Structure 1
Amino acid sequence: TPVWNRTFPATAANAGIVTADGGYVIGGTKSPFTYDIGDAFLIRLDADGNMIWHKNYAVPVIFDLEETADGGVAYSGNYWYGLVDAEGDEVWLRNMEGFAGYAVVPRPTEGYMIAGKDIRSGGGFAFGTDADGAIQWQTTYPDTAVYAAISAPDGGYTLAGIHFLSPVSSAAWLENLEEVEVTPTPATPGFGAVAAGMALLLLVVGRRWQD
């Protein structure tokens, strides 16, 4: 027996989650057949299904979403993935031209793993980002479209989708993907550092000359 039921006219939801405070967030698009730019939305509800906020974003559709530790929401969709804060305001938005992100999963340390398919070729992909959405690693699956992903117990990810055996046959597909360790690149001293070093050298030489 339903406890409560809510409808939201002129919207189509593709994803929904239960939030840490017992509420809900749903996401999708206002144009499910055409995916028009600007029609993606997120709606946040309290535990009783009452709307807290409803925001639209300058992207066509949201396919998946995850709550962040601070109550924000990371999402993925057609050509775009992004992050909003707990009030639904945009933190950052990143383009992935030609890709449809069907799954977003928090990485063990920071950032997100986005997975889906290349709309142009039909092949799949997965990539990891940092906390600001910059891509740090990427892998592709030429004959497989990825439609779902979750965190795996070993700190990696379990991906699920369709493996295309031929133009007329396919098979269900599942893969356990390891998390990729990213080694920070040592910073190279820039002009500012060089200039500061030269200034220090001149100061030392000047003092010795005065002595």
Structure 2
Amino acid sequence: MAAAAWAVCLICFVSVHAAGFADGAMPEERFFRTLHAGTYTDIHTIVPLADGGMIAGGLAYNSGGVENGILVRYDADGEAVWEQRFTGDVIPAVIESGDGVYSGITYMTPLTYASHAAYENVTGTSTLFSVTGDGDILYVAELDNARASDIRAAPDGGVMVTGWLWVTDDGYAGFLSKYAADGTFEWTVTYPGLIPHALIMAPDGGWILAGATTPLPETPTDGWMLRTGSDGTEMWRQTYPGTAAFTVLDTPAGGYLVGGGTQSLVSYTGDAWFMLTDETGARISSSQPGGVALYDSAEMPGTGYVFAGKWADSGALLFVGYDGGEFGVIVRDDADGRLNTVTVAGETIVAGGWERISSNIKGVIIGYPVPEGPAQTTVPTTLPSPTQTPGFAAAACCAGIFGAALLLGRR
């Protein structure tokens, strides 16, 4: 397994253009790592490890190459331990599916780098794979005609995969599939007309899916959230017109936090939005904080939530309290880029994506300390009372968060 070119900065000092967190202090980078493994390298998923290291997956695109999916293990010092390549364009998600076993998905579409006008004819395949902690491949299973988007561990040691089918009699169709621990297919359920982007286990069992109604760019879409039983049978569904949901978390209050944008995923345009819901997915409060879209989210225990996304042409992290109030944003505005993924390991936020560095598009992994949230973001015992939806009025919503913006300079 060849090692990709990499670099690491354990402590990077940055300039602060404005302050907006509770104590007025900008979280300072704990580390900054880059991965340059192709013409275009992009981190889409990160799994923190117990030894302080991590496994990162994403894209290492080379023109004409077929093994563009890349998986890299780093030790606690940021050294690349091993690298694996997989057939496909991107590894969008990886999880720890067993003791020292990691499962992930890839997808390949011939038009990933084609013009948007060609997307109406797009097709493709995906794979499900599993590796050991040493990077040895245990299995690779093909998902024909599918675009896999997310994966979660099942209670019995298997895995659940969601995504959508490119061509069916009814057009696009979302799916939820179950696989055994050895990659053997067990069952699948389809949801016509839905494009799932996110999957989590429901707090009391079953599954929560969230997504959009089109995979095509520059096409009207409605966001949605769907609850299933353990066998994939639909139990309820909520729709959020004019949006697309890319990430979902369950909240300590018993509801859900949903984030995304107002355009489909591949558009990389539109307006970011997020909302809190009750346990049935009914919207309680929502906000359009500025920025283009929110692609991933993680809970900061005792503080609230952090979203990874894009603000104008740069990657960003948005900080939100348990009550849905925004209390800070870091915009990495010295370079074009995007943050696709975020996770929390102890007291460290770890985000990944890409940045254009010295004319090269490199994958980046960035660490920040978990900030101190404002006093009002203590964990609620019940959800807040339903309030009128802001209606995504950009001027009113953006004023609050930009007043608290942290614009982060870089090398």
Superposition TM-score, scaled by structure 2 size = 0.40
Q: Equivalents in 1 of 2:242, 2:254: separation in Å? A: 25
User: 1:89 maps to which residue?
Assistant: 184
Mapped partners of 2:278, 2:227: distance in 1: 11
Match of 1:35 in 2: 123
Structure number with greater Rg is: 1
Q: How far is the alpha carbon of 1:10 from its aligned partner?
A: 4.2
Deviations 1:63-83 (A, max 9, x none): 011111222111211222211
CA-to-partner distance for each residue in 1:22-42, whole Å, 9 max, x for gaps?
321110223363333xx2211
Q: Number of aligned pairs?
A: 175
- Percent of aligned pairs sharing the same letter: 26
Asked if residue 162 in structure 1 is aligned to residue 261 in structure 2, the reply is yes
1:19 corresponds, among 93, 97, 113, to 97
Which deviates more from structure 2 when the two are superposed, residues 147-156 or residues 137-146? 147-156
> Counterparts of 2:110 and 2:250 in 1: how far apart (Å)?
28
> How far apart, in 2, do the equivalents of 1:170 and 1:23 lie?
38
Q: Distance in 2 between matches of 1:83 and 1:152?
A: 25
2:239 corresponds to which of 140, 165, 171 = 140
Q: Which amino acid in structure 2 is aligned with residue 63 of structure 1? A: S
C-alpha distance in 2 between matches for 1:4 and 1:73: 24
* One-letter identity of the residue aligned with 2:102: Y
| Structure 1 residues 8 and 163: CA distance shift in structure 2, 3 A | closer
**In the alignment, is the contact (CA less than 8 A) between 1:112 and 1:130 conserved in 2?**
yes
Contact 2:223–2:244, Cα closer than 8 Å, also in 1: yes
Unaligned runs of 5+ in 2: 1-78, 112-121, 165-172, 264-268, 282-411
Cα pair distance change 1:94/1:175, threshold 3 Å: same
Structure 1: 5+ residue stretches without partners: 182-211
Matching of residues 1-211 of structure 1 within 5 Å:
1-10=79-88, 12-31=90-109, 33=111, 34-36=122-124, 39-78=125-164, 79=173, 80-119=175-214, 121-163=220-262, 170-180=270-280
Corresponding letter in the other structure for 2:256: Y
Letter in 2 for 1:175: M
Measured in 2, the distance between the counterparts of 1:133 and 1:32 equals 30
1:85 deviation in Å?
1.6
Report the alpha carbon displacement of residue 113 of structure 1 after superposing the two structures with TM.
Answer: 0.5
1 CA distance for matches of 2:247 and 2:208? 11
**Aligned counterparts of 1:4 and 1:154: Cα–Cα separation in 2:** 40
Decide whether aligned partners of structure 1 residues 125 and 71 sit closer, same or farther in structure 2, where only a CA change above 3 A counts: same
SS at match of 1:19: strand
Q: Which has the higher helix share?
A: 1
Q: Deviations over 1:2-59 (max 9, x none)?
A: 11111113453221112341321110223363333xx221101111111111111244
Q: For residues 50 and 81 of structure 1, what CA distance do their matches in structure 2 show?
A: 27
Conservation of the 8 A alpha-carbon contact between 1:29 and 1:35: no
Q: Name segments (4+ residues, structure 1) moved above 6 Å.
A: none
Provide closer, same or farther for how the CA distance between residues 81 and 92 of structure 1 changes in structure 2, counting only shifts above 3 A: same
In 2, are the aligned partners of 1:101 and 1:115 still within 8 Å (CA)? yes
Q: CA 1:163 to 1:9, structure 2 compared with 1: closer, same or farther past 3 Å?
A: closer
Provide the rounded CA distance (Å) in 2 between the counterparts of 1:110 and 1:153: 16
Alignment partners' CA distance in 2, 1:128 and 1:77: 15
Distance 1:156 1:54 in 2: 35
Alignment check: 8 A CA contact 2:101 2:131 kept: yes
Give a deviation string over 1:73-111, Cα, whole Å, max 9, x none. Answer: 112112222111212122221111221100011011221
Q: Distance in 1 between matches of 2:258 and 2:210?
A: 8
TM (normalized to structure 1)? Answer: 0.75
Q: Please give the alpha-carbon distance, in whole angstroms, between the structure 1 residues aligned to 2:191 and 2:247.
A: 18
